[in-house]
Amino acid sequence: MRNLRRLIFILTIAIYPSLNASGQEIAGSIRGTILDASGATVSGARITAIQTETGLVRSTITDAQGAYVFIELPIGHYRLEAEAQGFKKYVQEGISLDVNQTAAVAVRLEVGIPTQEVRVQADASLVETTVTSLGKTVGEREVLDLPLNGRDFTQLGLLQPGVFPLTPGLQQAGGSLRNGQAYAVNGQRPESNNFLIDGANNFNSVDGGLVIQLPIDSIAEFHILTHTASAEFGHSSGSTTNIITAPAPTHFMARPGNSCGTTPWTRRVSLLPA
């Protein structure tokens, strides 16, 4: 009986976090249409998305309308390759993908042999034609390079329109319960905010603040939805802050201690054997 209770407890702990994170988007997508030089769609073309940081490869075939889509792509930088019979190979680099964003890449193929290549170095346009929410992504370079008092990343959220620090009156009224709260958004109380880490809830139901305050070096980027978040980000009437953790590095960056989070130099130490 004791073993059965222990098993039920372990299963509950393992399953509960996945239920909280099941519907919350922490990735991005790339979509578009493949056309020829005349503007006609090209069906049956193979298109491949390659993440430059990790080498992740995803491939698909365009449909009858020449359209393609890659969903659930990890954030990062991508190279797009398109191939079709009777056309030159198309390669586009420099595509940046942030959390909860869709990159639109229209591909134009030129007549030729597959061994020839057409290379494009340009970022894709980020479109939100099916999303009514408003928000902004704060990238890794901003998190690491901008001065922060006490290395608190939430201070960067104040750079967005509609995001304000807690007033002295609120802080005094809440006392210690305000310690985990970061900001107020669009006139809502700070208890109305929601916080996620890689799509999992990081929300303190007692005071409405952060449960885990991540160090800035472990954050790849974070996205604050300030208005009309979609149903996948339910739970709160205020903002939703989605924090994406950085992947494990292959090099160690040693930074001298600094209360503002900025340093005049860094030291790189390899973690891999020679």
* In a domain? residue 240: yes
What pTM was estimated for this model as a whole?
A: 0.57
Summarize pLDDT for 105-143 with one digit per residue, the tens: 889 999 998 788 888 876 555 555 545 455 667 777 777
3-state secondary structure 78-107: EEEEEECCCECEEEEEEEEECCCCEEECCE
For residues 250 and 263, the answer to whether their CB atoms sit within 8 Å is: no
Distance CA 106, CA 112 (A): 19
Query: CB-based burial of residue 187 (10 Å sphere; 0-12 exposed, 13-18 middle, 19+ buried)?
Result: exposed
* In a domain? residue 5: no
Domain boundary among 82, 103, 127: 127
Residue 93's domain comprises 28-127
Phi/psi for 85 (5° steps) reads: -60, 130
* In a domain? residue 117: yes
Which residues, other chains included, contact 12 with Cβ-Cβ below 8 Å and sequence gap of 6+?
A: none
> At residue 186, does pLDDT exceed 50?
yes
Distance CA 193, CA 154 (A): 12
* In a domain? residue 6: no
Q: Are residues 112 and 207 in the same domain?
A: no
Residue 86 belongs to a domain with what CATH number? 2.60.40.1120
> At residue 187, does pLDDT exceed 50?
yes
> At residue 270, does pLDDT exceed 50?
no
Can you give the pLDDT at residue 20?
46
Domain boundary among 79, 104, 127: 127
Query: CB-based burial of residue 152 (10 Å sphere; 0-12 exposed, 13-18 middle, 19+ buried)?
Result: middle
Question: H or E segment at 240?
Answer: strand 240-245
Can you give the pLDDT at residue 269?
40
Domains: count for the chain = 2
Q: Are residues 122 and 211 in the same domain?
A: no
Averaged over 232-248, what is the pLDDT? 74
